[in-house]
Amino acid sequence: MSSRLNTSHSRHKLRAQGGARDSLLNPQHPYQSMKNVPPHYTIQSSTLTKQNSEIVRYKISPEKGTPSQLSLPPLEKPQSSLSMMNQADTFSYKSTPSYKQVQTMERHQKYEQILDSFLLNSLEGPIAQVIEETIGVTLDATTVTLWQDIPSLHMLYSKRLTRTVNHSSGLVGFTFFTREIVKSEQASQHNAYVESEDSLICPGNTQVLLFPLWDSENNICAVVEVTKQPGKPFFSDEDEDFILFFTKRFKIYSQWLFKPAFPQKFISDLSSVMELEQFLLVFQQRVPSFFNARAAEIWKYDMHNKELYRYDSRCTKIDENCAGIVWEAFQRECPINCSVNKMLSSYTPAIDGDISEAILVVPLVDIKKMVKWAIILRGHKGLPVFTQEDESLLREVSMSITISLDNADRFTQAGVGKNRSSLEHQCITSLENAADSLIQGVSLNEIVSRAIKNLENLTSADKSYLFFFDEQNKKYVCDDGHTKISLDQGKGIVGLTFNNSKIYNIPDVMSSTEYDMTPEIQTGYKAHSLLSVPLINNRKEVIAVLQLLNRRDQKPFSNIDVNFVKIISNLIGLLMENEKMFGISTQANKEVEEFIKSSNSMQKNSHVKTVLSEIVHSALETLNGDRASLFIHDKVVGVLSTLIVDGGELPQTIPMSHGIAATVANTGNPILVNDAYHDPRFNKMIDFHTGYKTQSVCAAPIMTNDEGVIGVIEVINKKNSNFSEKDILLLQSFATFCGTCLESKHLKDITERGTAQIEMAKWIGEYERNTYTIPFKLQIPTNKQSQLTSLDFFAVDWNGIGLFKVCFHVFSSFGLLERFKISNELFFTFLYRLRESYNEPPYHNWIHAIDVLQYVSYQCKITNADSILTHLELLAVCVAAICHDAGHEGYNNNYNINAQTPLGILFKDRSVMETYHCTVAIQILKNEESNILYALTHNELQIIWKWIIHLILATDMANHFKLIKQAEETLEQGALNLKNESDRLMAMELIMKVADISNVSRPFKYADQWCEVLSEEFWRQGDSEKSLGLPYSGPLMNREQSTNKAKGQVNFYTFLCLPLYKVIARIFPELTVNLESMQNNLKHWEQLVAEQEAAAKLQDGEDKFAEQPVQTSQREPQRILETSLSALKLNINVK
């Protein structure tokens, strides 16, 4: 069978049944009547038979809440027993019901339970929703839609879908027309299916069932549309049985289910005695809200005078010839309900508006007074039409509304003259009082307070609020003297008043969708009526909003109230604006004075920190803050360094990871915060450590043209108010002053200190400059620090900033920086200047200087000499170590004398290069910016200079054997007495001497590399001697002949180094390890010599040197030693 054949009407036809049986039950309350029905009836039938007489009792359970369907036989006509039994069979009067009867009884009991639940739910929720939910659950439906009838429009509407359909359109219209159950397994296969109408609820293959509902007057009041998804079981006969049961019961109860409750409270509010404008306010708020309409109007036609009036927010006289739709209703004297106003022939745009919308007009005629009234609703907000329920309800309340309006009009005409005269007198008195207060010099706050109090008396207001706009927090704020009120921008009636600059008179705030209950929550005061008035300045800007709450007579505020409030509020607004302008003028003068003061300070004072302190204080005064500070962005360390603090204390550094100032430095944008503890960027730990409570913060970046953000200026806790955007602009101006000042200081530093300042900025942070702790970027990692106290140190690997790190580590390890107040900035500048003094020969350069310093430190540490020598002596030996070759050009003393260089001529009779090294060191240490000896007393300076010069001169190889001999002679008399100054000086000389030729005791891989470097410097000197026509200072200077490096090293180690290392090992046994290391290297060189000689013997076949030692003659050791010494510094005679 095709799907078309499966589409059919129900086997049941629901015709309107108006017989007596339907009217037997007429309960006063449907649910209560249903409960009064007993659970079963006991029906008795007594009959006399020929055989005997008996009483037969039958017990059945009919449907709850309905009359019995049984037709009992008349008792006055006795029947035979057989006839009696046949009748009993017909009506199922059996002592034991059949299985089918039991099923029927159980099904009906189930239906009764569903009906119970339905009726209970109808007392609590919208009837349409309850019907849809009940049918949906019972029939296991996908959707259920109730279409309610609007007879006057010939339409049905769904509240859930907010849609309408015509009586003759689609499946819904077909069901309404046929008044039968309609069902189809595929909705689109039904002849009445209309794609445009039905597809929204039941697409093509949806299962659908529709049935009508009757009201108690036998009219179809609704159509129920039920759908199921394809694949679900189709609607069964049992479903249809329930529908029949439900429609029958619904008909009985419909007069209570669909009858809306009379709006008693609504009518009571409108019926209160009040003036006309107050009534219209209440009407305009309550009626549109109650009917969910866009607008509502009352029309009055005086038939005697032929005058037509419209009442909306005011009373307006209208020409009857252009009154529009309402005039048609007056003429026809019947309601008009239309879904589109423009479809009516009487539509007039000037009266009925340009919007296409629904309209409902209900007219009334007062024959006695010869007056016609009409209530109009325009534009339903939830549906495209006004419903039958709307129409019925409007009919019920229209008479009460018109009577209330007439009463309000009479009340207004009776008392308006007297009241207005009294109120006007009070208003004039209030203005006179305000003028007197101004003359007497009363403060603005007091004048405003008095004016608002007078307004409360004039309008009979119970309370008032004065709201201002907080620009910073974007909130409306009010302080009523007890509680501070805060509203978000744009919220509530306050927001509307601020934004629209209009007066809002709200008779019932709870009926207003714009009302914000925040003030009630924050204060506990409940508002009913409200008058909200903007306070406007002379530029038509809203500067505040005044709100009057709750007339004491519980009526809305009248138009007279509004007029008085407008007059006095304008006065308040002008006074407040004048006060504000005076304050701005005063503040502007103060700002100019502070700017001039800052500018003058920059011109007069050369000390940068003093200038910055004055600028920060000016910023503090101008912004009226409690404390201020200036931070320098230390890009080296990655922190903010505290430079200036005006009030209180702050940590020396602030991390860049979090905090208001850090955020400003990172982003380059100013920040204004008036509730610091609720701002996630705020660093609470600073307050925790200082014990200070930060509430508001205003911070701006200090910038330069080239480097971007170099610092932050910050003012905290503005007194008596919050920071504003203007404060940010002012602080940025002061930040510009600070930036100019700091940039000038930076340029001055570069001018005075040259590139040292630029280089220092890479490695030392601002806050680290004046400390004595090793700067973070110049610290040596822990795992590398052990190299500085061992022989396994190769200075070449530390070239660059690493050599500075070694210096900082050595001096710091001896406590010299802190002991002699040598700041990081001073020490870095000293090292930088010293490094600049070193030239770049292959060997005697800056790297060699640090190599010697490390070896001095190493010897002092392992011998515990650092605890024996005084701090002054340690400073002397360390300074001598890094200065001992300053200015060295790679040529020894012999060369300078033979070549007649300026140094050779100047210092001919003394140690040429060593003396020159002393002069270079003196020049650097005399300069203020690099004088690390500045903190010493005059006596200490004399002592330390003597030691430094003595130690540098001791590095002259001409004094080599003399120093060894003195040490040996001293040791022959006993151990050195290190408590004796001369013995300590000898120990220092020996430590210095060993460090100067320490390469021989380094691991062989380093000793060999140093030998190569030194050879290159020798050859460089030899090339110069050759070009000048001078004899070579020694064989090692000749690049072509100096090929036997190993043999030269064996002689150098044996005759020059070994005696020195042995004598210092006798003084400091701990240095035996150095001696042993040097001896191991010597063996290595000897092995190389042996290998070279063996190779030469094999090559030449000569064996004349096979049994001879390395020294081939008595003159050979002397010649090699002289060559080595000559190569180092100066030729000497060894006897």
Percent of the residues in the chain that have a pLDDT greater than 90, as a whole number: 31
Verify that 174 and 116 share a domain, yes or no: yes
Residue 55 maps to a domain: no
- Phi/psi of residue 919, nearest 5 degrees: -65, -40
66 vs 979, more confident? 979
The pLDDT, as a whole number, for residue 95 is 55
Using CA atoms, how far apart are residues 34 and 152, in angstroms rounded to an integer? 33
- Residue 43 is encoded by which pair of tokens? 């029906």
Nearest to 344 by CA among 369, 325, 372, 363: 325
Residue 222 has pLDDT above 90, yes or no: yes
**Binding annotation for AMP:** 844-848, 885, 996, 1049
Across the strands, what pairs with 361?
A: 336, 376
Q: Provide the pLDDT for residue 9.
A: 44
* 775-779, long-range: CB < 8 A, 24+ apart: 775/636, 775/637, 775/808, 775/824, 776/636, 776/637, 777/636, 777/637, 778/804, 778/805, 778/808, 778/824, 779/805, 779/808, 779/809
Instruction: Give a yes or no: residue 119 inside a domain.
Output: yes
Q: Mapping DSSP to helix (H, G, I), strand (E, B) and coil, where does residue 653 land?
A: strand
Q: Are residues 239 and 284 in the same domain?
A: no
For the stretch 841-864, pLDDT in tens is: 888 999 999 999 999 999 999 999
- Which of 933, 1084, 928 is closest to 1004 using CA atoms? 1084
Task: Tell whether the model's pLDDT for residue 426 goes beyond 60.
Answer: no
1107 within a domain of the structure (yes/no): no
The pTM of the full predicted model, rounded to 2 decimals, is 0.46
Q: Which pLDDT score is estimated for 77?
A: 39
Residue linked to tokens 């529009």: 324
Give yes or no: residues 454 and 406 share one domain.
no
Assigned domain for 17 exists: no
Backbone angles phi, psi at 542, to 5 degrees: -80, 115
Indicate which CATH number applies to the domain containing 920: 1.10.1300.10
Q: How confident is the model at residue 749 (pLDDT cuts 50, 70, 90)?
A: low
Of 1128, 1047, 1114, 1111, the residue nearest 1085 (C-alpha): 1047
| Beta-ladder partners of 337 | 360
704 SS3 class: strand
For the chain, what is the domain count?
6
Judged against a pLDDT cut of 50, whether residue 87 lies above it is answered with no
* Three-state secondary-structure class, residue 792: coil
CB 884 within 8 A of CB 851: no
More confident residue, 759 or 294: 294
Torsions phi, psi for 149 (to 5 deg): -85, 140
* pLDDT for 503 beyond 90: no
Residues 430, 576 within the same domain: yes
Domain for residue 332, yes or no?
A: yes
DSSP state of 1071: G
- What are the φ and ψ backbone dihedral angles of 373, each rounded to 5 degrees? -120, 155
CA-to-CA separations, 430 to 84, 424, 550, 577, 1075, in angstroms, rounded = 100, 10, 21, 20, 108
Task: Point out the domain boundary residue: 955, 986, 1014.
Answer: 955
Mean pLDDT of 174-203: 91
How sure is the predictor about 127, in pLDDT bands with cuts at 50, 70 and 90? confident
- Catalytic: which of 167, 190, 746, 844? 844
- Residue 350 token pair: 């000037």
Amino acid at 1029: G
pLDDT tens sequence across 1043-1074: 678 888 888 899 889 999 999 999 999 999 99
Question: 1004-1034 pLDDT, tens per residue?
Answer: 999 999 988 888 888 888 888 778 888 887 7
Tallying the residues shown for the chain, one arrives at 1135
Beta strands in 568-657 (DSSP E): 625-634, 639-646, 653-655
Q: Give the span between the Cα atoms of 393 and 381, in whole angstroms.
A: 17
Question: Hey, is 469 helix, strand or coil?
Answer: strand
What per-residue confidence (pLDDT) applies to 1117? 44
Q: Is the pLDDT at 791 greater than 70, yes or no?
A: yes
Closest listed residue to residue 125, CA positions, set 134, 136, 138, 112: 134
Tell me the residue range of the domain where 285 lies.
Answer: 264-414
Same domain, 793 and 942: yes
In the predicted structure, residue 114 carries a pLDDT above the cut 60: yes
Angle at 384 (CA atoms; ends 379, 390), nearest 5 degrees: 70
Q: What CATH number should be reported for the domain holding residue 193?
A: 3.30.450.40
Residue 509 has pLDDT above 50, yes or no: yes
Does residue 298 register a pLDDT over 80?
Answer: yes
Please provide residue 186's backbone torsions phi and psi, each rounded to the nearest 5 degrees. -135, 110
Query: Among 372, 395, 414, which residue terminates a domain?
Result: 414
What amino acid occupies position 460? S
Residues 744 and 764 in one domain: no
Structure tokens at 211: 């049935």
pLDDT, position 1114? 42
Higher pLDDT, 177 or 1042: 177
**940 neighbors 948 (Cβ within 8 angstroms):** no
pLDDT band for position 940 (50/70/90)? very high
Domain termination site, one of 414, 431, 455: 414
What is d(CA 1013, CA 1045) in angstroms, rounded to the nearest whole number?
12
Shared domain check, 622 and 476: no
pLDDT of residue 622: 86
- State residue 40's pLDDT score: 35
**Interatomic CA distance for residues 310 and 23, integer angstroms:** 46
Q: Are residues 939 and 873 in the same domain?
A: yes
65 pLDDT more than 90: no
Cα→Cα distances 450→339, 423, 430, 455, 531, Å:
54, 17, 9, 9, 18
Burial, 1086: exposed, middle or buried (Cβ in 10 Å; 0-12, 13-18, 19+)? middle
Query: Average pLDDT, stretch 277-290?
Result: 84
At 496, phi and psi to the nearest 5? -60, -40
Distance CA 829, CA 102 (A): 112
Q: Are the C-beta atoms of residues 770 and 825 closer than 8 Å to each other?
A: yes
User: Does an H or E element contain 408, and which?
Assistant: helix 388-439
Query: What stretches of 624-681 show up as alpha helix (H) in DSSP?
Result: 660-667
Q: Mean pLDDT throughout 711-722?
A: 91
Identify whether 3 is part of a domain: no
Q: Which pLDDT band, with edges at 50, 70 and 90, does 473 fall under?
A: confident
Measured over all CA atoms, what is the biggest interatomic distance in the chain, rounded to whole angstroms? Answer: 178
Mean pLDDT over 301-316 rounds to 89
Residue 571: predicted pLDDT: 64
- Same domain? For 827 and 963 the reply is no
1130 has pLDDT over 50: no
Asked if residue 1036 is part of any domain, the answer here is: no
Reduced to 3 states (helix: H, G, I; strand: E, B; else coil), residue 47 is: strand
Residue 226 pairs in a beta bridge with: 144, 209
Based on the domain organization, do 717 and 625 belong to the same domain?
yes
Within this chain, do residues 320 and 392 fall inside the same structural domain, yes or no? yes
Q: How far, in Å, CA of 248 to CA of 22, rounded? A: 9
Minimal CA–CA distance to 1075: which of 1084, 1087, 1063? 1063
Output 1040 or 500, whichever has higher pLDDT. Answer: 500
Whether pLDDT at 28 is above 80:
no
Query: Is the confidence at residue 224, as pLDDT, over 60?
Result: yes
Enumerate residues 6+ apart whose C-beta is below 8 A from 623. Answer: 698, 715, 718, 723, 727, 730, 731
Looking at the fold, whether 396 and 451 belong to one and the same domain comes out as no
Give a yes or no: residue 594 inside a domain. Answer: no
Please tell me the predicted confidence (pLDDT) of residue 590: 58
Residue 1105 has pLDDT above 60, yes or no: no
Q: Measured between alpha carbons, how far is 312 from 281 in angstroms, rounded to an integer?
A: 9
Q: Report the pLDDT value the prediction gives residue 568, as an integer from 0 to 100.
A: 67
Catalytic site residue 167?
no
Among 294-303, 741-750, 971-980, the range with the most confident prediction by mean pLDDT is: 294-303
- In the structure, what pLDDT confidence band is assigned to residue 1115 with cuts at 50, 70 and 90? very low
Query: Mean pLDDT score of the chain, rounded to an integer?
Result: 80
Both structure tokens of 1042: 């100096």
Count of helix runs (H) and strand runs (E) in the chain? 39, 27
Going by C-alpha positions, the residue among 473, 470, 433, 425 that lies closest to residue 453 is 433
Q: What is the pLDDT of residue 401?
A: 87
Is the CA virtual torsion 195, 200, 202, 206 positive or negative? positive
DSSP code of residue 671: E
